[in-house]
Amino acid sequence: MANLKEIRARITSVGSTMQITSAMKMVSAAKLKRAQDAITQMRPYANKLRELLVNLSSTLESSDGGAYSDARPVKKQLVVAITSNRGLCGAFNNNVIKQAKVLAAECDNTTFLTIGKKASEHFTKNGFDVVSTHDDLYTDLSFANTSAIAQDLMDHFTEGRYDKVVVVYNQFKNAASQILMSEPFLPVETPSDDSATIGDYIFEPEKEEIVADLIPKSLKIQLFKAVLDSHASEHGARMTAMHKATDNAGELKKELTLTYNKARQAAITGEILEIVGGAEALNS
């Protein structure tokens, strides 16, 4: 059994760790509220824009989808991996990295574009082909900065550098739950007859021109939504992880305190026995 000094040191260390994890939990909870508000306000607009695009695209001939709808054999693939800049958030980052590797295994020629230091560090250190990293996006998370990344993706696709672009991220469900998503970004999928609700539209200007303007805007909105989803999911995952860490530290502290009390009691009992034994020796 460890001596009393070692147990006291461990109790102090666990107590300090518990204070840190508790503080990190409260910080993540505060950040989560802002991030959650941002994605919940953004999601209805993004979904409605996508629905409108599907309805309009369904009225066009398949050849009118534009350069962003050019479906071709996948020889070169780009995977956009969205993670966080920091860890201590459970399996949040590892899930994205693992799914990105699964997609890479499906295509021999796969390139990565990373958003978040955890993905950038992993794929760079392990020798994967990383075309660009955007670790500083979270320092100024805005639609303008995300749109620039989306525009680069669209330009690379139309130039033929990639035949397919897939975005991997965590979709925010609630503070304790995130859904790992692997969404096709380019080419724009042609809507099926069942998914489109064709209405009686009056087009001004021509519908081809409207769709041509809507597709780039919709793609930028979809990428921005994915980043906002990931941002909110990160804080939710970290808050949950720190909550569990705080509880575990509390349990460990209780066990160590019990061990310390038992050791202290055993030491006192031993000292009493020594005193009694010494007194009996003097009397004999």
| pLDDT at 199 (0 to 100) | 58
Instruction: Among 109-113, 114-118, 188-192, 252-256, name the one with the lowest average pLDDT.
Output: 188-192
**CB proximity list for 237: less than 8 A, separation 6 or greater:** 89, 90, 91, 92, 170, 178
Over range 81-87, report the average pLDDT.
94
pLDDT of residue 151: 94
Query: Worst-scoring range by mean pLDDT, 74-78, 96-100, 197-201?
Result: 197-201
Of 200, 218, 178, 157, which is closest to residue 35 (Cα–Cα)? Answer: 178
Q: Say whether 107 is catalytic.
A: no
pLDDT averaged over the chain? 87
Mean pLDDT of 32-43: 91
- Whether 90 has a pLDDT exceeding 60, the answer reads yes
Quote the pLDDT of residue 57.
63
Q: What's the pLDDT band for 142 if we cut at 50, 70, 90? A: very high
Q: How far apart are CA 78 and CA 35, in angstroms?
A: 27
Percentage with pLDDT > 90 across the chain: 58
Lowest-confidence segment of 154-158, 190-194, 202-206, 266-270 by average pLDDT: 190-194
Which 3 state secondary structure label does DSSP give 130? strand
CA distance 164 to 221: 18
CA distance readout (Å), 19 to 12, 16, 33, 125, 249: 11, 5, 22, 33, 9
User: What pLDDT is stored for residue 65 in this prediction?
Assistant: 52
Give me the pLDDT at residue 59, please: 60
Tell me what the mean pLDDT of segment 97-103 comes to: 95
Query: What is the pLDDT at residue 202?
Result: 72
Catalytic, out of 38, 89, 150, 154: 89
DSSP symbol at 68 = G
Measured distance CA(228)–CA(10) in Å, rounded: 40
Average pLDDT over residues 68-73: 82
Give the lowest-confidence range in 59-63, 89-93, 214-218.
Answer: 59-63
Q: What is the pLDDT of residue 3?
A: 82
Provide the pLDDT for residue 200: 63
Q: Which residue has the higher pLDDT, 172 or 49?
A: 172
pLDDT tens digits for range 188-247 = 876 555 555 555 667 777 777 777 788 889 899 999 999 999 999 999 999 999 999 999
Q: What is the pTM of this model?
A: 0.84
In this prediction, residue 152 has a pLDDT band, given cuts at 50, 70 and 90, of very high
To the nearest 10°, report the CA torsion of 159, 163, 230, 47: 90
pLDDT of 214 reads: 83
Go through the chain and tell me how many residues it has: 284
| Structural contact between residues 155 and 68, judged by C-beta atoms closer than 8 angstroms | no
pLDDT of residue 94: 95
Owner of token pair 């978040």: 116
Q: Where are the domains of the chain?
A: 24-241
* Fold type of domain 24-241: Pyruvate Kinase; Chain: A, domain 1 (3.40.1380)
pLDDT of residue 1 exceeding 60, the answer is no
Residue 63 reports pLDDT greater than 80:
no
